Every structure is written in C-alpha cells, then in structure tokens.
Amino acid sequence: MSVLQVDNVVSGYGSMEVLHDLSLAVGQGEIVAMLGPNGAGKTTLLRTIFGVVPPWSGTITYKGEDISGVPPERLVRMGLAYIPQEYNIFASLTVQENLEMGAFIRDDDIHPRIEEIFELFPDIAERRKSRAGELSGGMRQMLAIGRALMLNPELLLMDEISTGLAPFLVDAIFERVKELNDQGVTILLVEQNAPKALQTSDRVYIIEGGEKKAEGNPEAIAADEEIARLYLGRS
Amino acid sequence: MQIGGLLSYLVSFSIMAAIYGIFSMGLNVQWGYTGLLNFGIAAFFAVGAYTSALVVAPLPTGPSADYVQQAIGLNMPFLVGVAAAAIVSGILALLVGLLTLRLRGSYLAIATIGIAETIRLFFNNEPWLANGSQGLVGLPQPLYGLVPPRYYNYVYLAIVLVFLLLIYFALERGIRSPWGRVLRGIREDEVMVAANGKDVFNFELQSLVVGAMIMGIGGALYAHFRASIQPGLFRPTYGTFIIWTMLTLGGTGNNKGAILGGFVVWAFWSWSSTVLATVAPAGLETRAPFFRYILIGVLLVGVLLVRPKGLIGEERQVSRF
Amino acid sequence: MVQLALWGVVLGSIIALGSVGLTLIWGITDLFNAAHGDQMTVGAYVTLLVVALIPDVGFLQAAVGPFSFPWAVLIGIIPAIIVSAFLAIAIDRVVYKPLRRMGATSITGFIASIGVAWGLRGLIYVLWGADFHFYASGIRPMVSFLGLRLRTDEVFIVVVAWLATAGTYIFLQNTKMGKALRALSDNADLARVAGINTDRMIVWAWAIAGFLIALAGTLYGIQTQLRAEMGWIFLLPLFAAIILGGQGSITGAAVGGLVLGLAQQMSTAWLRPTYKPAVAFMIMVLALIFRPQGIFGEKESR
Ligand SMILES: Nc1ncnc2c1ncn2[C@@H]1O[C@H](COP(=O)(O)OP(=O)(O)OP(=O)(O)O)[C@@H](O)[C@H]1O
Ligand SMILES: [Mg+2]
C-alpha cells in the first residue's frame, strides 16, 4: 500500500490552473524523485499536498486517510514534514530556535531530539547560537532538513534542497537523504540535479506543464533518450 | 423660506462634495489607476489652496497690513490662481515622487503622511509666508459682483461643476489612451510593464504629478469657496483620510465612483451632525457631531468587508488606439 | 541641553513602549495599524473611568508616594489592560481576520484600520467629549539632581515604560510562544509549515499589543492630560519609530522611539517647539529613503 497517494489533483493560484489532473503515489520506504523544467508545477504539487495551497479537485490520501486541504498544523501531527524550496529557515532566529520551532507542537522536553539532530549535522551544532540568516548556503539547507526532522516524520517532502550548493555539499546532503531513508523515512523529493536524483531514488516522475509526462525506475528513465532530451535538458 | 434655506444648504453642500469629488478623482489617478499609495493628499490640497490664495489675493493694505503677513499677493485673476495651484502642486509632486516613489507599499504611505504634516507645520510656523496659524481671510471670490451676494453660491457651484466635468472627461479620455493602459499595467504587474521596455518610474512620476495637479485645483477651489484658509484645515483627517474613504467607498478605479464617493461621504459627514443634534438627548447635543466619526469609521470598514470594490467598481476599459 | 535630553528620554520612553506593540503586529500580520494610537486613547480612558468609579476612601484616592497620581490609577491600569487586550482581539476578529480570509492586501488592512481609528475616536468623543481630563488635579512634585529637574511622575513613567519594554523583549526571546511569534513574524509560510497555529498566535499578538498600548496610554495620560485626540496625534511618531527600527523588531522600535524622543526635544534648542513633530517625520522620511529596512531590519528581503 502506498503511503501517499495523489489522485487527479487540480490546483493553482487565483484563477490560474497550474496542476491539471495529476496523479502519483509514493510507497512505504521509497525515495521518489520528481523532475521537470522550471515552472512545471513541482513546488505547487508539494504545496498542495501539504495544505498550503488548497486543491481545487482530486484527492490526496496519506496512509489511507483523506488529507486533501488539511492544514499543515494537522499534517505535522500525522507524521508529514515539508522543506520548502525557498525561505526554508527562520533567518532572524538562532539555529537552535529554528529546531525548537520544528517541534512547536510538542509540549514535552525536546532537547534530546535537538541533540540528536546536532549529531546528525555536526556543522550546525557549532553554530547553535548564531542567527540562521548568517549561515552559509550548505548549512542553511542542513538546518532546514534538521528542522523538518524534529518530529521524526514518516514522510518527508523536500523541494530542491541541493540547488545552488557546491558539488561536495550536494553529495553530503544526498548522503543524509539516503541515511534517513535507511532509517525508515519515506521521501518525496524535487530535484534540478537530475543525475543525482536518478542515482538516489527508487522511482522517478517527470512533470511538465502541470502534467505527468513519464514515470518509472531511474534506470529506465535514464536510458530513455527522448525523456532525457525533452525534460532533463540533455541533448 | 424653509425651501429657500434648504436649497441654499444643498448648494453649499454640493460645492463641498464636488470639490471632494475632484480630490477623489486626483487620488483615483494615483491609487486607482497606478496603485500609488499617496497618503499625503493634504500636502497638495494645502499647497494648491495657499498658492491660489497668494496669487489671487492682493497684498494686505491699510490697518490689516499690521497684522496680516503675506510673502506675496499678486492680485491676479482667479483662473491664473487655479493654474498656478495646479502647477505648484505638480512641482511639489515631482519632488516628492523623486524622493519617495522608490518606496513600496505602506512605506510610501507613511512617508507621504510625514511629508504632508511637515508641510502643514511649515505653513503653521512661518508667519511671513501666509500669516502662520492665523491663515488668510477675505480671499477674493470669482465673479462675485455678478449676482446678489446671497445667490453667489449658485455661481460658485457652476464654476466648481465646470471644473469637475472638465477633469472627469479629461481623465476618461486619458485612461483609455495608451498612457492610461500603461498606468493600469503598472498597477497590475509592474515587472511585466518594465519587461516591455517601459520606464515604470517615469510613468509613476507622471501619474503622481497629474493626480497632484488635480488636487491642487481642488485646493484652489476650496480656498476661494471658503474665502479663508488656515493650516488647521489640512490635517490628515480632513485633508487625506476622508478622501481615501470617498474613493474606497465610491469605487477605486472608477471616476464616477470617485465623484459618487465624494457626495455620499460628505453627505454622511455633514448631515449626520445636523440630524443627530436634533435627536440627541438633552445635554448630549454638543457631542452629537462626534457620532459622525463612528459613522464614517463603520462605513469604511463595512465597505471593505462587504463590498470591497466600492459602490460602483472599476469599469472594464477598452483602449482606443 | 542635558535637561532637554532628559525630557527627550521621557518622551522617547513613551514612544518606545507605544511602538513595541505596533511593530509586533506589523511583523506578524503585515498590518500597519492606524488605529493603534486610538487604542492607546481607549486604554487611557478606561483607566480614567475606573479612577472615577473608585470611591475616595482610605488610601485609594491618595497620591502614591512621591507621585502626583492616586492609587486608583494603578488599580485602574489593570482593567484598562484587560479591556484593551480584548478590544484588540475583537477588532482583529471582526475586521482584519475576515480581510485576511478574503485575501486582502496589507494596504486594505491599513485603510480599514483608519476606519477603526475613526470609530474608536468617535466613541471616546461621544462618551467623554472633547475636553481635557486628568487623573489627578494636585500639584506635580519635582525632583532635582545635578541642576537637572524632572517631575517625579516622569521618573515613574520612564521606569515602568522600560520595564514593560524589556519584559516584552525577554518574553519574546525566551518563551516558546515568544519564539513562535518571532518565527511567524520572520516567515509566516514556514511557520505554518512547521506546524505553528498561526491563527492562535495572531490572537496572542493582539492581546500583547493591547496590553502594552493601554499601559502606554495611561502613562502618557499621567505625563500630560487625556483628550480624545491624544493617541491619534501620537500615532505618527509611533510609525516613525517602528520604521526606524525595522519591521517587527522590538529592539529597533525601542531604540527608534528613544532616538525620536531625544531628537524632538533637543531640536527645540534650535527650532520652534511646534516643529517637534516635523522633526520626527523628517527623520522618518530620511530613514526610509536611505535605509528602508530600518536600523535593525531583520526580515530577509523577498
Ligand atoms: N504564489 C504564486 N502565485 C501565482 N503563481 C505562482 C505562484 N507560485 C508559482 N506560480 C506559477 O505556477 C507555475 C508553477 O510554479 P512552480 O513553482 O510550482 O514550478 P516548479 O516546477 O516548482 O518550478 P522551479 O523548478 O522553478 O521551482 C509557474 O508558472 C509559476 O509562475
Ligand atoms: Mg519549485
């Protein structure tokens, strides 16, 4: 049974329809990557799943429960977490405060969990009292991931967490993604870096113009010359 | 006599409402069509009023010269005063725009309020210019000898309505022109307009200046109607916020709405005190006029909540090339 | 000169306290609340109402220690704060929340707040008239040291204003709710995504703003006198202070308020006192033009 199921979702902003009847599924323990050109609607899909943008029609189910239009503050209680593409940290708060906000809904002692996150990302541990806005690009992304992990999510939505980072940092980030997945976290990620995504994921969707253009395992997608030429910017 | 009294009241009411309609149309150019948050209407209002007063009135002579100070007094015809009011307000708008138009949203609003209050305080504190806080009285009125004094307001109403209609038709033409299209484009999507190679800042400046010139004319008409002006008349409440209420209520982006808003809000504002004073319980008559603050406040909030586009919303504009 | 600076600190303290709530709301809801000044007036008048109701028995209407105002004022502040906080929440529920729901811009909110300001001022006018009112009619004792003079009341005002401002700062820095309010102010979308109930936080923000503004209004009433326009006239310096300070910055607003108070009072050494407000506006306009993000601007530009 799939953990996340998106069926015939239509969504957009104002009167502009961005997603046209889009469906996809993410199975338990999978890493699923979404690829596609700029403006394809990848971010809009994640925002629709996470209740930031209301779906116009269609259904979204999480572990069999209908979560279409359920607000984020309820979704985080159900075990979902989301790392937005931009502005994914609280720049004026300290590193540690960012993590605390990640566990806002918890009323018990969250300090053990914060220490666990710092163990996972030792670089940001040293900067725990710094304002997050002062961090470098790579550390910001680690912090964004750390914040999303505070509640031990079962399903993690990540939007282009490696964009703009130096190659060694991209490798480090994907290393963490793999580790998380090994620990049982199901992951749906959006990527610009197609090779990296194909290398990391179990399954891939190609999205363009708000529609699903292809799906399959990374090997098949990578081998398909036409897909590569049309959607992955390779000639 | 009753009827005559009511009629003359209606005439002076209409003069004020029409003048406010002119201000409201000036704001409509800036906010309604271009999306500029000018909250310093009072500045252009005051500058228009004072400019025309100083251009049209002669320098004080005789005994009044002892207690009325006035930097200039050109004793020119009324129309020259109105033209000067438009020009000086326009120049002020140019300066204000160059300084502040790069600011966005609420910042522009607050900066313009600050500038308008500073200008008012300047008139208030510099007696050499226009008699300081005492202001100017006995301003000349155009065509005054034409009819017996008690019918003069009919003449003035005609003058104001001529200006109102001239401005209305000029704006209706302007807004349907390619120029008006660019302005509305800026309001909808500045980036898009800039991408089409238009100099957004320049167009915004033009819009601010045109709107301010209209406000300057309104100020001049106001000054010669009252025949006396003091800095206290140009506080933010009467000089700016009430005009925003008028345009919002009438219909932002619609010149007919702007005029309608002027009449409706002014009716509420000026009639509520009269009506309430007669029904207020004994001892509270003196407080009745204050009810209009509550009334206008509720009206403004109510419109925003229930009819955000105003009484008559924006018309679809078809450009004619 | 030093004397002027001292008066500047007194004025600056009240501006600082008044602007803290304003910048909090600005940061969290993006609303420039033009009714903030009139909410301050309401706070001051609720205190007045209670003072008038308290009978002259025992110490109740006797002056507090070396100050001019009676104990009744200190008692009256409490209901004033409560009324003001609930009023702020009620206004948000009735006016601003529906506007947010409709997807209205912050400009629409600003225009609506002008309507709210009118409504509140009208209410004060109708209930109390346009006359001046005082909490106490007695003499106002002075203290002097090193050749400087200050009313005892003013010492009280400065101390209370900074205690409240510092208290708010500490609350926002160190409590879970304070941090969530700052997070919401910093990045509302991410705050939602992180599971913060933004709707409830906005209610708390209004409550805090209402609390602070009632206190500021009462202190201002102690320093000068009460009249229906007091808060409205005070509004522009408050706006100036929060613009100097940068959106949502408590420290910025506090420092901005102090700077403006000092600048206004010290300008009287060269300029007519009636130019005082103009000094505040000019500083604000210059600050806007040269440093639009404020002295302490923290928001990442987007
Ligand atoms: N807040 C918004 N309001 C209106 N339109 C939006 C908004 N956000 C995105 N869009 C539009 O929706 C479409 C899809 O955008 P989306 O951000 O989902 O694309 P994306 O696939 O994530 O692109 P990228 O790779 O650049 O992140 C685009 O045409 C974009 O202009
Ligand atoms: Mg995207």
DSSP 8-state class, residue C259: H
Q: pLDDT per residue over B285-308, tens digit each? A: 778 778 889 999 999 999 999 998
ipTM for the complex shown: 0.91
CB B241 within 8 A of CB B63: no
Q: Closest Cα of chain C to A202: distance in Å? A: 26
Q: Can you give the residue range of the structural domain that contains B125?
A: 2-235
Confidence check: pLDDT of A230 > 80: no
What is the number of structural domains in chain B? 1
Which of A18, A48, A50 most suits a substitution to test ligand 1, by most atoms within 8 Å of the C-beta? A18
Tell which wins on pLDDT, B195 or B91.
Answer: B91
Q: Boundaries of CATH 3.40.50.300 in chain A?
A: 1-79+155-235
Gap between the terminal Cα atoms of chain A: 37
Tell which wins on pLDDT, C81 or C138.
Answer: C81
Q: Closest Cα of chain C to A198: distance in Å? A: 27
Q: pLDDT per residue over B87-105, tens digit each? A: 999 999 999 999 889 888 8
Residue C80 in any domain: the answer is yes
Cα dist from A190 to A75, B57, B103, C141, whole Å: 19, 73, 36, 70
CATH number for the domain harbouring residue C260: 1.10.3470
Output phi, psi for C68, to 5 deg.
Answer: -85, -25
Q: Please state, in angstroms and rounded to a whole number, the distance separating the CA atoms of residues C256 and C252.
A: 6
Q: Can you give the residue range of the structural domain that contains C142?
A: 2-290
Residue B258 in any domain: the answer is no
CB B297 within 8 A of CB C118: yes
Confidence check: pLDDT of B76 > 80: yes
DSSP-based three-state secondary structure for C189: helix
CB C282 within 8 A of CB C29: no
Which residues lie with the beta carbon below 6 Å from any ligand 1 atom? A 13, 16, 18, 36, 38-44, 85
Specify the DSSP element, H or E, that contains C151.
strand C148-151
What is the number of structural domains in chain C? 1
B297:C116 CB<8 A: yes
Specify the DSSP element, H or E, that contains A218.
helix A218-223
User: pTM for the full model?
Assistant: 0.91
Q: Categorize the per-residue pLDDT at C302 as very low, low, confident or very high, splitting at 50, 70 and 90.
A: very low
DSSP-based three-state secondary structure for A182: helix
Q: pLDDT per residue over B123-176, tens digit each? A: 999 989 999 889 998 899 998 888 888 889 999 999 999 999 999 999 999 989
Q: pLDDT per residue over C67-100, tens digit each? A: 888 898 999 999 999 999 999 999 999 999 999 9
B301:C292 CB<8 A: no
Residue C221 in any domain: the answer is yes
**Cα B192–chain centre separation:** 32
Q: Please state, in angstroms and rounded to a whole number, the distance separating the CA atoms of residues A199 and A196.
A: 5
Q: Closest Cα of chain C to A71: distance in Å? A: 8
Q: Categorize the per-residue pLDDT at C295 as very low, low, confident or very high, splitting at 50, 70 and 90.
A: low
Confidence check: pLDDT of B316 > 70: no
**Mean of pLDDT over chain B:** 90
* A31-35 and A203-208 beta bridge pairing: parallel
B77: how many CB neighbours lie within 10 A of its CB?
Answer: 13
* C142-145 and A203-208 beta bridge pairing: unpaired
Q: Categorize the per-residue pLDDT at C298 as very low, low, confident or very high, splitting at 50, 70 and 90.
A: low
- Against chain B, the chains showing at least 3 CB pairs within 8 Å are C
Confidence check: pLDDT of C300 > 70: no
B294:C275 CB<8 A: no
- Against chain C, the chains showing at least 3 CB pairs within 8 Å are A, B
How large is the average pLDDT for residues A63-92? Answer: 94
- Any idea which of A28-42, B67-81, C181-195 has the lowest mean pLDDT? B67-81
Q: Please state, in angstroms and rounded to a whole number, the distance separating the CA atoms of residues C219 and C161.
A: 8
* CATH fold for domain A1-79+155-235: Rossmann fold (3.40.50)
**Mean of pLDDT over chain C:** 90
Q: Categorize the per-residue pLDDT at A102 as very low, low, confident or very high, splitting at 50, 70 and 90.
A: very high
